[in-house]
A and B are shown apart, each in its own frame.
Chain A
Amino acid sequence: MDMTGEFRIPAPREAVWKALNDPDILKRSIAGCEKLEKTADNEFVAKVTARVGPVKASFTGKVTLSDLDPPNGYKIAGEGQGGAAGFARGGAEVRLEPDGDGTLLKYTVNAAIGGKLAQIGARLIDGTARKMANDFFGKFAEIVGGPAQPAAEAEATEPAGPPMAATAMPAERIEALLSKGLKPWVWVSALILLALALLFYYGRR
């Protein structure tokens, strides 16, 4: 499923761009993030201990940036191999536009899961990933300080592509989710890690 959305951050574009690339802010924004390291110019490795239901486990995922166009945006992609349980993959295209004294962040995110993860979690993964994103945005907003405003309601479109079935999600919830400010590449890596967590949880039952 592709999810698109945009929102306004009350900070200049340069500052948002900087924050988008600050591993420390990002690390503090991801619950359970133990490690977030730059391994190459445009590559990070994240280690996250995630809790899904009764299961707590550590996962490692790799995230790469491409098409960097500071401060206008970039593309971000991440992939985690879950071995026996399948794979999770995500990507996003992020654009930053000046909006008065703030910044308008527009994004398109897609995620794909495969193997046992898709087989069992196609429906659950979506809702849980959104929840994880919500947690991330809340924390991020708290750290950065300034409240963000949603510029537009997020839209979820369902292309022929990746196997993530849409779950019914109240619009106000999506709004709330996105109103706190977004760190897309972390969002994506969080999604991937979450996917892996879910996959282990369901894979082991």
Chain B
Amino acid sequence: MADTGIGAPVRRKEDFRFLTGRGSYTDDINRHGQTYAYILRSPYAFAKIKKIDTSKAKRAPGVVIVLTGADYAADGKGGIPCGWQIHSKDGSPMIEPPHPPLVADMVRHVGDQVALVIAETKAQARDAAELIEVVYEEMKPIVDTASAAKPGAPQVWPQAKDNTCYDWHLGDKAATDAAFAKAAHVTKLDLVNQRLIANAMEPRAAIAEYDRATGNYTLFTTSQNPHVIRLLMGAFVLQIPESKLRVVAPDVGGGFGSKIFHYAEEAILTWAAGKVGRPIKWTADRSESFTSDAQGRDHVSHAELAMDKDGKFLGLRVSTVANMGAYLSTFAPCVPTYLYGTLLAGVYATPAIYVEVRAVFTNTVPVDAYRGAGRPEATYLLERLVEKAAREMKMDRAELRRKNFIPRDGFPYQTPVALQYDSGDYHSTLDIALKNSDWAGFEKRRAEAKGRGMLRGIGISTYLEACGIAPSAVVGSLGARAGLYETANVRVHPTGSVTVFTGTHSHGQGHETTFAQIVSSTLGITMENIEVVHGDTNKIPFGMGTYGSRSLAVGGSALVKALDKIVTKAKRIAAHLMEASVADIEFKDGVFKVAGTDKTLPFGQVALTAYVPHNYPITELEPGLEETSFYDPLNFTYPGGCHICEVEIDPETGVTKLINFTACDDVGRVINPMIVEGQVHGGLAQGIGQALFERAVYDNASGQLLSGSYMDYCMPRADDLCSFTVSTHNTMCTHNPLGSKGVGEVGAIGSPPAVINAVLDALLPLGVSDITMPASPHRVWQAIQAAKPAKAAE
């Protein structure tokens, strides 16, 4: 069975349907009697709604119903809830403004939902929406992160003074101040982690329906976590009992975090379906995705690192302003706090850390988790700071890092910012990456490039992240309004084939293969006999879904626990059939054996006996072979590693070309190395996209989203990238049964600072010491020009 078990590079089972165009995405689903929704959105960033006249739209051809925020409010339905509550320094809870899924009196960002039109066809819904007359009274918006809390800024919410949602901190301020007081050198850095737009390949879509015969609602939606949507929408927004609400997330074409959250469209479609009694379909067009999908990052930070004369880190001080957008999205408040501040130790044994984070409201699309969520922000800040420190201390960049690493024998390691790392080996991942990137031979390559008139640079990032979220008790104490365990149900069928029902959701991760490999390994059955089912709340046990690289570490662990129960019960059945003691039953490669004898039984026969219990220990054991486990992790998991990037810059054009990218990651136990490699590749592409290409831009005066299409928002493409050199050096997670840590986000977390450090290394001879992401040709060229007079004056 080794060929399909744990550690085998099995080809993805799901790829046949995806690659042959046979996937079934939400928009592929059509229901009998289906109608179509169009959502009229605000063209203003901040305006009062003086009047909405829908009378013409209601009379338009094909229109079934036109609904506004006033209708929604009149029905007494709720707002979109936030799933995480942060408390400020002074102990007060964060400001949580209402989040109506259809606004009634004010619009607070371009794209805010103003009216819902349901018609027989999509075109009719759209045409009718053109006939809705809305009178707006425009107000001056605030979009800029850094100035949102400054005096005189327009106020997004009257209850949020200075646009502040919370003013949070973590760490020992006094100890950190003391560390700075005795420092031989302090390195300071201001930086921006720009706003990004997730741009999943499949735009969001939903179909809501209501069955008048049974009173049941069904929502098909592009979600990473259908049970979370059922809970939030059913219990908090529409007051539908969970038993009456089915949420299905079928094949989903990428999420990257943006499909975690409960969105307004899901709620208003389900609400409207109850009114019209017919299925309603909505599919976002790409323009809509730009102004209605939660966006990512958007931090402005100041950081200071205190060192002794030998470069040993003494203390770290960080102050960050994080942009929440106009409303609090589902997990938004935890991203710049417990997924960011807690990560500021990184891979370093910095003894004192203090971080302050102010979250601000602005008239922009809400910001929430995006691949990495908080951890890329922490990593970017730390690795830019450490790189700058090495320059200032005139120390080797790798050596300074090595000197400050948590030692190999330092685990478990308690950081000064709450987390306790269980395992890691940062020295090895650094050494392997240095070797694989031929770090030692770089100066020769730089000289060769110089001969061609090109600027070559190399940059390192040694990163750590916390994923596998999360221990429910821990996150509960930190403000999470949910538990973060995961579930698995293993149903062995009478002839020995198996269906796994998992609470996680696959939208590109390959769970149908990875989870099947775990089953194949444990039960000794072939992949063809294993199906993995996810995404339908009427089929799967209550689960929290997929995000934060948690599926294998948490959902896979639940699967292992459920499989343990299956094996335990099957052994008792086998013992009965073979008339032996349970203690003497061995199970290996799908065969039960009485130890020390040649008596054996195949797994399939035991399964059949469980369902045809003619000869069965019926007084001691129930028939059937089906088990469920809920697994609540004991700790986060801590992947880490080293990324090294090599670039070449054309000083005449400012174009940065990626030459080499080397990654050595520690992701714990690998189930399928091919999937791991693919995940790292995807993550790197996204991280490089942030470093070199992507940036969401709002016009400061009007609040309009200027980078609102692919003409202005630059996504990385295959020809922008190089061939990656990817490897793993894994230490096992010590607290989950698989030893796996997680791999979904490492590429996006580790890579941006490696790229920017490489760009700065290339520009160093010209005297450029700082650049803001994305390092677009325009910015690089400007930096080169700006440095010229200074360099000439030297």
A120 to B290, CA, bound (A): 10
A87 to B706, CA, bound (A): 15
Cβ contact within 8 Å between A120 and B41: no
Minimum CB–CB distance from A118 to chain B (whole Å) comes to 4
A122 to B42, CA, bound (A): 17
A81 to B611, CA, bound (A): 68
A160 to B700, CA, bound (A): 7
Contact of B110 with A by CB under 8 A: yes
Cβ contact within 8 Å between B701 and A160: yes
Near A by CB (< 8 A), chain B positions 193-224 give none
**Which A residues lie within 8 Å of B38 (CB)?**
84
Cβ contact within 8 Å between B129 and A118: no
Could you mark each residue 677-714 of chain B with 1 if its beta carbon is under 8 Å from any beta carbon of chain A, else 0? 00000000000000000000001111011101101100
Cβ contact within 8 Å between A83 and B40: yes
Q: Which of these, A113, A116, A123, A162, contacts B712 with CB under 8 Å?
A: A123
Could you mark each residue 158-175 of chain A with 1 if its beta carbon is under 8 Å from any beta carbon of chain B, else 0? 001111010000000000
Contact of B287 with A by CB under 8 A: yes
Cβ contact within 8 Å between A115 and B43: yes
What residue in chain B is nearest A113 (Cβ atoms)? B704
Using A119-B291, A120-B711 as known contacts, say yes or no to A84 and B702 having CB atoms under 8 A apart.
Answer: no
Minimum CB–CB distance from B112 to chain A (whole Å) comes to 11
A83 to B700, CA, bound (A): 23
Near B by CB (< 8 A), chain A positions 53-83 give 81-83
Minimum CB–CB distance from A116 to chain B (whole Å) comes to 6
Q: Which of these, B129, B291, B706, contacts A165 with CB under 8 Å?
A: B706
Q: Which of these, A82, A83, A161, contacts B702 with CB under 8 Å?
A: A161
Minimum CB–CB distance from A10 to chain B (whole Å) comes to 39
A112 to B700, CA, bound (A): 13
**Which B residues lie within 8 Å of A82 (CB)?**
43, 130
**Which B residues lie within 8 Å of A118 (CB)?**
43, 110, 699, 702, 704-706, 708
A86 to B126, CA, bound (A): 13
A123 to B126, CA, bound (A): 25
A160 to B126, CA, bound (A): 33
Cβ contact within 8 Å between B287 and A83: no
**Which A residues lie within 8 Å of B134 (CB)?**
81
Cβ contact within 8 Å between A114 and B44: yes
Q: Which of these, B130, B291, B699, contacts A163 with CB under 8 Å?
A: B699
Contact of B132 with A by CB under 8 A: yes
**Which A residues lie within 8 Å of B699 (CB)?**
118, 162-163
Q: Which of these, B40, B130, B700, B704, contacts A119 with CB under 8 Å?
A: B704
Contact of A117 with B by CB under 8 A: yes
Cβ contact within 8 Å between A84 and B41: yes
**Which A residues lie within 8 Å of B701 (CB)?**
160-163
Contact of B131 with A by CB under 8 A: yes
Q: Which of these, B43, B132, B712, contacts A86 with CB under 8 Å?
A: B43
Cβ contact within 8 Å between A114 and B704: yes
What residue in chain A is nearest B47 (Cβ atoms)? A114
Cβ contact within 8 Å between A115 and B711: no
Cβ contact within 8 Å between A119 and B709: yes
Cβ contact within 8 Å between B40 and A84: yes
What residue in chain A is nearest B702 (Cβ atoms)? A163
Cβ contact within 8 Å between B702 and A115: no
What residue in chain A is nearest B126 (Cβ atoms)? A84
Q: Which of these, B129, B133, B711, contacts A123 with CB under 8 Å?
A: B711
**Which A residues lie within 8 Å of B130 (CB)?**
82-85
Minimum CB–CB distance from A81 to chain B (whole Å) comes to 8
Q: Which of these, B40, B43, B126, B709, contacts A114 with CB under 8 Å?
A: B43
Cβ contact within 8 Å between A120 and B110: no
**Which B residues lie within 8 Å of A123 (CB)?**
711-712
**Which A residues lie within 8 Å of B712 (CB)?**
122-123
**Which B residues lie within 8 Å of A83 (CB)?**
40, 129-133
A115 to B43, CA, bound (A): 4
Near A by CB (< 8 A), chain B positions 1-59 give 38, 40-44
Minimum CB–CB distance from A115 to chain B (whole Å) comes to 3
Near A by CB (< 8 A), chain B positions 262-289 give 287
Cβ contact within 8 Å between B43 and A120: no
A123 to B291, CA, bound (A): 18
Identify which of B40, B290, B700, B708 gathers the most chain A CB atoms within 10 Å of its CB: B708
Near B by CB (< 8 A), chain A positions 81-127 give 81-87, 112-120, 122-123
A112 to B702, CA, bound (A): 9
Using A83-B132, A84-B130 as known contacts, say yes or no to A120 and B287 having CB atoms under 8 A apart.
Answer: yes
Minimum CB–CB distance from B9 to chain A (whole Å) comes to 42
Cβ contact within 8 Å between A114 and B708: no
Minimum CB–CB distance from A80 to chain B (whole Å) comes to 11
**Which B residues lie within 8 Å of A86 (CB)?**
43
**Which A residues lie within 8 Å of B129 (CB)?**
83-84
What residue in chain A is nearest B711 (Cβ atoms)? A123
A119 to B109, CA, bound (A): 13
Minimum CB–CB distance from B138 to chain A (whole Å) comes to 9
What residue in chain A is nearest B44 (Cβ atoms)? A114
A1 to B287, CA, bound (A): 23
What residue in chain B is nearest A204 (Cβ atoms)? B126
What residue in chain B is nearest A161 (Cβ atoms)? B701
Identify which of A83, A84, A163 gathers the most chain B CB atoms within 10 Å of its CB: A84
A161 to B701, CA, bound (A): 5
**Which A residues lie within 8 Å of B43 (CB)?**
82, 85-87, 114-118
Could you mark each residue 121-149 of chain B with 1 if its beta carbon is under 8 Å from any beta carbon of chain A, else 0? 00000100111111000000000000000
What residue in chain B is nearest A112 (Cβ atoms)? B702
**Which B residues lie within 8 Å of A163 (CB)?**
699, 701-702, 704, 706
Minimum CB–CB distance from A192 to chain B (whole Å) comes to 14
Minimum CB–CB distance from A35 to chain B (whole Å) comes to 20
Cβ contact within 8 Å between B704 and A120: no
Q: Which of these, A81, A114, A119, A161, contacts B287 with CB under 8 Å?
A: A119
Cβ contact within 8 Å between A122 and B706: yes
A22 to B257, CA, bound (A): 58
**Which A residues lie within 8 Å of B706 (CB)?**
118-119, 122, 163, 165
A87 to B704, CA, bound (A): 11
A112 to B205, CA, bound (A): 31
A83 to B712, CA, bound (A): 23
- Further pairs besides A116-B287, A119-B708, A163-B706: 17, Cβ < 8 Å: A83-B40, A83-B129, A84-B126, A85-B43, A115-B41, A115-B43, A115-B704, A117-B43, A118-B110, A118-B702, A118-B704, A119-B706, A120-B709, A122-B706, A161-B701, A162-B701, A163-B701
Could you list 10 examples of A-B contacts with CB < 8 Å?
Answer: A81-B133, A83-B130, A87-B44, A113-B704, A114-B702, A116-B708, A119-B290, A122-B708, A123-B712, A162-B702
Write the residues of chain A forming the contact surface with B, with a CB cutoff of 8 angstroms.
81-87, 112-120, 122-123, 160-163, 165, 203
Q: Which 7 A-B pairs have the closest CB atoms?
A: A115-B43, A119-B708, A86-B43, A118-B704, A83-B130, A163-B699, A114-B43
